[in-house]
Structure 1
Amino acid sequence: MITSDQRSAPKAARTGIDFTDVDPRETSRAWSKFLSNRNAPSLPMTGVRSLIYQSWVRSNTTGIKPDQFAAPSLERGGVSTKSSHDQAELRRAARISMLRIGDLLSGAEAMLLLTDRDGLILETVGDNSTLSKASKINLSVGGLWSEHASGTNGIGTALWTGQPVYVHGEEHFCEGMKAWSCAAAPIRDPIDQSIIGVVNLSGLTRIFQKHNAAFAATAARDIELVLQQEQSLMNIRLIEASISSIPGRAMDNSDGFAIIDSFGRLIFSRNSGVNIGRSDQDLGLGAHFLELPDGISEAKIAAALPRTHCCDDIRLIEIDGLIKGAALAFRQRPSACHAAPAIRPSAPALPGVLIGTTGLKIVGKSDAILEALDTAQRIASANQPTLIEGQTGVGKELFARLIHARMSPESADCFRTVNCGAMNPKMFGDALLQPLQSGDTAPLCLDEIGETSAETQLYLLRILEEHSARLHGPHPPAQALRVLSLTNRALRDEVEAGRFRRDLFYRLSSLVLTIPPLHARGEDILLIAEHYIRKICIETGRDRLIFSPEVQDALMAHVWPGNVRELRNVVLGLHSLAKSRTVTLADLPREITPPAVAKTGLTEVFATQEPTLARDASLKQAEVRLIEDALKRHHGNLSKAALALGISRPTLYRKIEAYGIRTP
């Protein structure tokens, strides 16, 4: 691992490149002399550059074996999970430069690599033959090339020195790497100037040119420029989102206020050092105010806050559906502030599945949703063209995001959809071909695929067939194209009606995932409502809503033609229009009426089935009998019994308790 001291020490020397000539024979003799005198590394050494000799000494000190053939390597799964929060931003910024340079290197016996701050290779592009040879020494995705792992080499030595370097042939510390020439340059965070990665140009020794180091430095600067532009835009959006969504009293009633990005860097500060008696100048914008290496959440922020800071309020900021930052309100240490940061007590987590590091969640525990989640998990591992179907508003895109996150955890945040219904063939082609030509490994998500015209369907079919042919050709693409298609139509019926091409349907639907409608998910209705209540409380600072039992019954009995989207809108409306925090039937929209059983009693629901029951028994006895029958039919499953009776599970549970009914 690269320590913070190593990253910060060489800043002053970052622009200098050592262009001293390299004589392979002299370097080889110096290497032999070094091996015979490794116990006395302070002896003078000639025939080798000082930069390289110092790296040899470090490699020897850390126990690197001179006869090591290849770099250690992580499996792809390890690459995906390691610092994925930190890597996503770097990968996005580097993508365009990597692809442009990769095209230039095709046939040039060279390759370009991108690593993270620890020398872990994230991306490789360039000449196919060179890439194949490089994989034999793990100069490929997953390879670890810090000096601590692989001795003297371009990547590791650039990380250590903090400046562009080249390492040629015999200058490598390990025997297995001496056939290679490497030129590398560090990539720095535009905000705090810490090293966050390396760009490295590699090839066999015959491609060696000293100016390759300058080439790598130029590529690194290009990536830094993209990072700077993206970060500036995101910072502006974070501030705008904070101003528009956070009540003025949250800022006015605090002694200090700060806005941070998802990495814990300070974007805005108003006296945020009040708790420790420091001025704003000591808390420079862009500084790492909090350490958040694994993503951002309220709990992670609370854990990272110094004990010297008394935090009254933490508000997560959502941009484009993802948590991208937070606003923090502080107050002076004196008075009732305890040593631990004070935040709103958090309620128990709702059941469901988080989607990677996006901050999004599929909420629910019903059998229907658990079955859909299990199918999605198996689809992610199968990696086949998938059709996701379901009514409007059921959450098809969330499931597509979940599959994408399971396929590519390192790029879970990079999710793109192509809206098929809003594009003509030319627009559709541009949207498809750009990621295909760039080698983007993220799944291609085609939203509203059933809305495409006949001409666009033919165009899409041709692209998919050409890509399939390339997979089996002499020069296959690095990654197979992964397609997720979303539709609210019954696409098989569309095929039979002649409105959708049969051959395209089979291309897109090797696997099918059907998302259940909300009315089939039982108590998930109340869980999802609670999810949005909590979300709105965080965003607006309002007190949470409380649903009365009658309101819960009404929500459970509603058909929800708009599904989860309709439920979300209802909760949003209640936060603004409910007369008090305890919601009553009178607060509900007109279309959500109390269930019939709430007005007439359970006996009338089954009156047509058991007409003598209501006549020959008391209402209480009839209700008990109906509940017992429902429980028996559903083997004691309260959720299914409640759904059959047309009441909520909490209401059923209360009746079981009140009547002393024994469950099977």
Structure 2
Amino acid sequence: MTPVPEGQMFSDPGNDAAVMAAWERFLDGSGRPSDALRSLVDGSWQRCQQHNVDPDKRSAPEPVGETMLMSLKSRHGELLEAGAPIMACARDFLAETGTVMALADTSSTILTMEGDNPTLGSAESIHLVPGVAWSERICGTNAIGTALAVGQPVQIHSAEHYCAGIKRWTCSATVIRHPHDGEILGVVDVSGLSETYNRQSLALVVTTASRIENRLTIREMERRYRLLEAALLQWSGGTDGVVLFDRRGYPIKANENAQAAIAAFGAELDLTAPRRIPGLAVDVEQPVLPAWLRPEWLVPVSSRGERLGTLLIMPLPRLGRSSAGEAERALARDPAVGGGVRANLPPGFASIVTADTGLRDAVRKADQLARSRVPVLLLGETGVGKEEFAQGIHQASPFRDGPYVALNCGGLSRELLASELFGYVDGAFTGARRGGLVGKIEAANGGTLFLDEIGEMPLDLQPHLLRVLEQGEIYRLGENVARKVDFRLVAATHRDLRKEVADGRFRMDFYYRVAVTSIRIP
């Protein structure tokens, strides 16, 4: 999206005559655009001419039939649901203003309208009604179509419209974006006859779009937690690689075997920068899947009759094969299995000496996961060597040249753990060290932070660390200035954190942020 140049955001009714003259010259090709013509409008006129839009058109086309309109509303039910209370308010706050508010989909088709009753009647004369597509290709320059074309707030007044039949109107519109990835979901518009022009109309649609996006965010979070809860019951504890995808095809959770399984088939998985697989979206009628992904690996996840997402359960190939084309090579071929206890272990894990096949498998998985930047949760009883695994992951990771900082969350009071994690400034509390203290999180900047026994972290501290992981910034205790941090988190616990979540002793959102990937150490 290109920012609007200064002075180009709003229409100027005082330039209407000059813009009309510029339109006439544009149509007959007799001159350069007037200085009164905003670049936004000039660009739209150029597109209209390329699409052979009839400048003499008097109105938009006829609306689609009632059955088709109902089908469109059903398809965009979530957008309509999020916009319903805002549109209901429009009936009251736009009454007697001479304006109406419209909510349209990404094809510029109006789904619903509210507002001033007399203006609703006038709008029918140009087919500004539900069921009509107001794209630039069909209706020329107009706020709905142009906002979708440029992906930003747009105000189009009177003569700035490309088609003669709608030059009596003034309109403002902006797009509505999905809170997760910014995908355009629709557009909200406020329109009226030219005499109702008001700069504040643009602010109104921007505020309205923001309110709808906020409602979509809340709804998305609710659905995400329901998905995680529903999938938790089906989560595999075996040797399969398991990845959970949301209803739009984005991966949101993976078990400890997922990256190894996917990598063996020539694909990649990075939950820090998740890539969408459109074929896994629940509303796709004829999904097209990547070549490596087999339909029989997919399991729908539903709750209360609503499809929430998809589980990908794929077999973990025998360790030792390096590509999908070597799918049947046996682990027994690996000389490390039949020979010495150190042979072929990754360099970062040289301190681990074992002939145990299960432990060697865990080391190889750790080495594979180390190359990404995602958090890793180490699972195992006390004394199994979680610290050695954490150091090995650090040595094999992109953060190997940075510091390795470790902290055991067990046995510390809430206040001491908070100061150890976040640090504090001089005078933050009675007994604070002169000059303050750099916390473990800040000390790990550019490297790896290992939090042992993370299951012991007090419940009220968890959202503070969650914010650090999500925002990449911390506040020292007693400080109001954020400090940017970038580190790789490795955590460890002997507890069953899923049970802790179910019992209310560990936050679900924190669990899914910490346990992006996990390794069970035998």
- How far apart, in 2, do the equivalents of 1:294 and 1:36 lie? 50
Q: Which amino acid is 2:71 matched to?
A: T
Q: CA RMSD in A?
A: 2.7
- How far apart, in 2, do the equivalents of 1:174 and 1:203 lie? 16
Q: Percent identity?
A: 30
Quick one: structure 1 residues 274 and 154, their matched pair in 2 at CA, closer, same or farther if it must change by over 3 Å? same
Quick one: structure 1 residues 322 and 64, their matched pair in 2 at CA, closer, same or farther if it must change by over 3 Å? same
Quick one: structure 1 residues 145 and 269, their matched pair in 2 at CA, closer, same or farther if it must change by over 3 Å? farther
Quick one: structure 1 residues 20 and 71, their matched pair in 2 at CA, closer, same or farther if it must change by over 3 Å? closer
Q: Which amino acid is 2:116 matched to?
A: D
Q: 2:144 aligns with which of 136, 139, 155?
A: 155
Whether 1:290 and 2:282 are equivalent positions in the alignment is: no
Quick one: structure 1 residues 313 and 276, their matched pair in 2 at CA, closer, same or farther if it must change by over 3 Å? closer
* Number of the residue aligned with 2:67: 77
Q: 2:199 aligns with which of 203, 210, 216?
A: 210
- How far apart, in 2, do the equivalents of 1:231 and 1:175 lie? 42
Q: 1:262 aligns with which of 226, 242, 247?
A: 247
Quick one: structure 1 residues 148 and 207, their matched pair in 2 at CA, closer, same or farther if it must change by over 3 Å? same
Whether 1:314 and 2:298 are equivalent positions in the alignment is: yes
Quick one: structure 1 residues 12 and 334, their matched pair in 2 at CA, closer, same or farther if it must change by over 3 Å? farther
Whether 1:248 and 2:236 are equivalent positions in the alignment is: yes
> 1:169-198 CA deviation, whole Å, 9 max, x = no partner?
111011111111100011011111011100
As a proportion of its length, which structure holds more helix?
Answer: 1
* Number of the residue aligned with 1:121: 110
Quick one: structure 1 residues 281 and 15, their matched pair in 2 at CA, closer, same or farther if it must change by over 3 Å? farther
- How far apart, in 2, do the equivalents of 1:146 and 1:292 lie? 29
SS of 2:278's partner is coil
Q: Which amino acid is 1:202 matched to?
A: S
* Number of the residue aligned with 1:390: none
Contact 2:22-2:33 within 8 A present in 1 as well? no
- How far apart, in 2, do the equivalents of 1:25 and 1:318 lie? 59
Whether 1:18 and 2:9 are equivalent positions in the alignment is: yes
* Number of the residue aligned with 1:617: none
Q: Which amino acid is 2:28 matched to?
A: S
- How far apart, in 1, do the equivalents of 2:17 and 2:295 lie? 63
Whether 1:68 and 2:57 are equivalent positions in the alignment is: yes
- How far apart, in 2, do the equivalents of 1:283 and 1:77 lie? 43
* Number of the residue aligned with 2:214: 225
Quick one: structure 1 residues 324 and 296, their matched pair in 2 at CA, closer, same or farther if it must change by over 3 Å? farther
- How far apart, in 2, do the equivalents of 1:16 and 1:305 lie? 47
Quick one: structure 1 residues 231 and 282, their matched pair in 2 at CA, closer, same or farther if it must change by over 3 Å? closer
Contact 1:15-1:163 within 8 A present in 2 as well? no
> 1:622-655 CA deviation, whole Å, 9 max, x = no partner?
xxxxxxxxxxxxxxxxxxxxxxxxxxxxxxxxxx
- How far apart, in 2, do the equivalents of 1:312 and 1:274 lie? 18
- How far apart, in 2, do the equivalents of 1:308 and 1:169 lie? 54
**How far off its partner does 1:335 sit?**
5.8
> 1:199-241 CA deviation, whole Å, 9 max, x = no partner?
0000111110122111111100100010011001101110110
Q: Which amino acid is 2:112 matched to?
A: E
* TM-score, scaled to structure 2: 0.56
Quick one: structure 1 residues 235 and 162, their matched pair in 2 at CA, closer, same or farther if it must change by over 3 Å? same
* Number of the residue aligned with 1:600: none
- How far apart, in 1, do the equivalents of 2:186 and 2:212 lie? 10
Whether 1:305 and 2:289 are equivalent positions in the alignment is: yes
- How far apart, in 2, do the equivalents of 1:259 and 1:15 lie? 45
Quick one: structure 1 residues 263 and 198, their matched pair in 2 at CA, closer, same or farther if it must change by over 3 Å? same
**Bigger Cα Rg:** 1
Quick one: structure 1 residues 247 and 229, their matched pair in 2 at CA, closer, same or farther if it must change by over 3 Å? closer
**How far off its partner does 1:24 sit?**
1.1
Unaligned residue ranges in structure 2 (runs of 5+)? 318-323, 329-522
> 1:47-87 CA deviation, whole Å, 9 max, x = no partner?
311111110110011010001111123223223334843x1
> 1:448-475 CA deviation, whole Å, 9 max, x = no partner?
xxxxxxxxxxxxxxxxxxxxxxxxxxxx
* Number of the residue aligned with 2:428: none
Q: Which amino acid is 1:263 matched to?
A: R
Contact 1:181-1:208 within 8 A present in 2 as well? yes
Quick one: structure 1 residues 193 and 101, their matched pair in 2 at CA, closer, same or farther if it must change by over 3 Å? same
Q: Which amino acid is 2:127 matched to?
A: N
- How far apart, in 1, do the equivalents of 2:308 and 2:214 lie? 20
SS of 2:89's partner is helix
Quick one: structure 1 residues 277 and 12, their matched pair in 2 at CA, closer, same or farther if it must change by over 3 Å? farther
- How far apart, in 2, do the equivalents of 1:179 and 1:238 lie? 49
Quick one: structure 1 residues 282 and 187, their matched pair in 2 at CA, closer, same or farther if it must change by over 3 Å? same
Contact 1:242-1:317 within 8 A present in 2 as well? yes
**How far off its partner does 1:248 sit?**
2.3
After the TM superposition, which residues 412-423 of structure 1 pair with which residues of structure 2 at under 5 Å, given as runs? none
> 1:374-411 CA deviation, whole Å, 9 max, x = no partner?
xxxxxxxxxxxxxxxxxxxxxxxxxxxxxxxxxxxxxx
**How far off its partner does 1:88 sit?**
1.4
* Number of the residue aligned with 1:324: 308
* TM-score, scaled to structure 1: 0.44
* Number of the residue aligned with 1:417: none
SS of 2:54's partner is coil
After the TM superposition, which residues 383-462 of structure 1 pair with which residues of structure 2 at under 5 Å, given as runs? none
Aligned length: 315
Contact 2:8-2:40 within 8 A present in 1 as well? no
Q: Which amino acid is 2:239 matched to?
A: N
**How far off its partner does 1:128 sit?**
1.2
> 1:116-145 CA deviation, whole Å, 9 max, x = no partner?
111110110111111111122111101101
- How far apart, in 2, do the equivalents of 1:182 and 1:206 lie? 11
**How far off its partner does 1:11 sit?**
6.4
SS of 1:186's partner is strand
- How far apart, in 2, do the equivalents of 1:278 and 1:294 lie? 22
